[in-house]
Copies of this chain bind each other. A is one copy, B any other.
Amino acid sequence: MGSTLTIGSFLFDYLYQKGATHAFGIPGDFALPTFRWLDKSPMELITLTHEPSVGFAADGYARVNGLGVACVTYCVGGLNMLNSVACAYAEKSPLIVISGGPSANDRQADPLLHHKVRTFDTQRRIYEEVTCANTVLLDVHTAAAEIIRVVDTVLEQCRPGYIEVPFDIVDMPIEAPVIPNRPPAVSDAENLEACIEDVVATINRAKNPVIIADVELHRHNLADLAIGIARKFNIPIASTLLSKSVISEQNPLYIGVYSGGFSEPETQRLVEESDCLIMLGAFLTDMFLGLNTAKISRKNTILANTEKMSVGLHRYDQVVFKDFLEKLLYSNVEKRGTFNNPLSFPDDDSLPVIDEKPITVEAFFSLLGGRMPDDATVVCDTGDSLLGAIGLRTSQRKNFLSDAYYLSMGFAVPASIGAMAANPGARTIVIAGDGAFQMTGIELSTIAKEKMNPIVFVINNDGYGTQRHIIDGPFNNIHPWDYPRMCDLLRYGDGYRVTTMQELDDAIHKALASKNMALVEVVVPRDDSSRSLRRLGEELGKLRNAEKKGQGE
């Protein structure tokens, strides 16, 4: 009877079968029986120090691997992870939240059970706001079907899902469930044909079409189709901050990260002067639009994603994104001449001067881009670490991670743990500002426990630097840590503090040559910023002046 199926064993077997070989979590009393099943399952569990990090780690894993699992306890665990799951919802990451919960008996008697907030349903109701499917496994007869429903919906929609497991039900035996066949979504054939005709005619009429390859291509495994379209018809292709690395940045058609006024000027010009923007898998977020500094006309835009399909101002219903891409690839769009790319992949000649001068954010990214290995994974935190990374070229796909739309500080260190678990072969580089690092950088403890070896750069500009450019005040100050000493606290890794370009280059070389984790504090001037942040300031300034003129000032 060792192989009797229980709710607990089925849950983790099903997740494993769907591709999640790792789970991330922190136990708690209501969750301990579930953790016992997780421990017995083929999945590998990585425990972290604090629940907000559990969510980011599982999200980072989901972004690389295609399905992530976060396992926590009731309320004190689940509610503490909510922000990370909200991030995964906003940025479409397929993440399963498993929470322990009170027993059915406890719920009926309705006592004031510890960890309870308002009602026993409080946590599920809250999670309803940040998930595409949720369930509480109160009924042993439907539990397996409910698990299947939530997991399959998460995989289909690439949004988080929530499974609450009462502690007394997880050990109960169940029959092997029938796994239903979920029929894939089907396009309306006429709509699809009309849509493709319209798109082909629009592209063929255009002088300089440009593809924007956005994050849904990555999440739904459709990037190859989009790149195929670009290559077949010689159409230049840009990414966004959220999708950066969805296409190899060494691809000769690649023209950089588009993000309105944050973009490199050449990228911004190519995108905004295009008379036919083909936006594939795009969210039109304000970050995509460079906080609304983008100059894009909807009339010149083809928008195709999993939820919407429009050509200029027309709209086509019931056209499946994948069908659209496949049809377009084999359509009679006319092939253009060879694209003369003004944005070349940087070579060694473009390295900054390495001397005893202070480090700037721009020079840091430029040097790092020149030194880092081709297959490195880069995980960036919110703030100037992200804006600076716009110009950082990575050569392989799936190796740039950031929460570039939701912009929650503290994402990078925990998310890198998930990324390293999903792709242990790649050297992983983490870049976080000092403010973001103070939020979750202590999660290097988990990196030490798991003997992982990222190179972690803390860009120290003495506080919340990006906010200083908006409104400054004492609230942007933080306590100055002696960052390299964190290696002593954790008894792990090599700590460096660098203040000159020469020291930075030495530290990068040493860190790359070593198999240890490296923590590099990069001291930059307090008022320094990336090109992108400065450009944005200028663009916003122009916009404001134009508004004032419009108001007759």
Contact = CB atoms under 8 A, between A and B. Distances in A.
Contact of A35 (B114, B440, B473): B473
A118 B86 CA distance: 9
Interface of A: 25, 27-29, 32-33, 35-36, 38-39, 45, 47, 49-52, 75-76, 79-80, 82-83, 86-87, 89-90, 111-118, 122, 125-126, 129-130, 283-289, 291-292, 405-410, 438-440, 442, 445-446, 448-449, 464, 467, 470-471, 473-483, 485-486, 488-491
A71 to B, nearest CB: 9
A113 B406 CA distance: 9
17 contacts: A36-B471, A45-B474, A49-B439, A50-B52, A50-B410, A75-B83, A75-B406, A82-B83, A112-B288, A113-B285, A114-B405, A114-B406, A117-B129, A118-B130, A449-B478, A482-B488, A485-B489
Contacts of A408: 76, 80, 115
A452 B35 CA distance: 39
A407 B486 CA distance: 29
B481 A47 contact: no
A36 B488 contact: no
Contact of A125 (B89, B118, B129): B129
A490 B438 CA distance: 11
B82 A79 contact: yes
A283 B79 contact: no
Given A114-B407, A283-B112, A405-B112, A479 B35 contact: no
Nearest to A287: B114
Contacts of A45: 474-475
A479 B118 contact: no
A33 B473 CA distance: 10
A283 B111 CA distance: 10
Contacts of A287: 114
Given A445-B478, A481-B490, 13 more contacts: A29-B467, A32-B471, A38-B475, A47-B477, A76-B83, A76-B408, A80-B82, A114-B286, A114-B287, A445-B479, A480-B491, A486-B489, A488-B488
Contacts of A464: 27
The 5 closest A-B pairs by CB, nearest first: A80-B83, A449-B479, A112-B285, A76-B408, A79-B83
Contacts of A489: 481-483, 485-486, 488-489
Nearest to A40: B473
Contacts of A114: 285-287, 291, 405-407
Contacts of A407: 76, 114-115
A479 B491 CA distance: 10
A284 B129 contact: no
A502 to B, nearest CB: 26
Nearest to A116: B90
A29 B470 contact: yes
A550 to B, nearest CB: 15
A540 to B, nearest CB: 12
B76 A27 contact: no
Nearest to A491: B482
Contacts of A32: 467, 470-471
A75 B80 contact: no
Given A86-B79, A286-B112, A52 B52 contact: yes
Q: Which residue, of A86, A445, A473, A474, has the highest number of chain B Cβ atoms within 10 A? A: A86
Contact of A438 (B115, B445, B486): B445
Contact of A82 (B125, B126, B442, B474): B126
A284 B116 CA distance: 13
Contacts of A448: 479
A521 to B, nearest CB: 11
Contacts of A488: 482, 485, 488-489
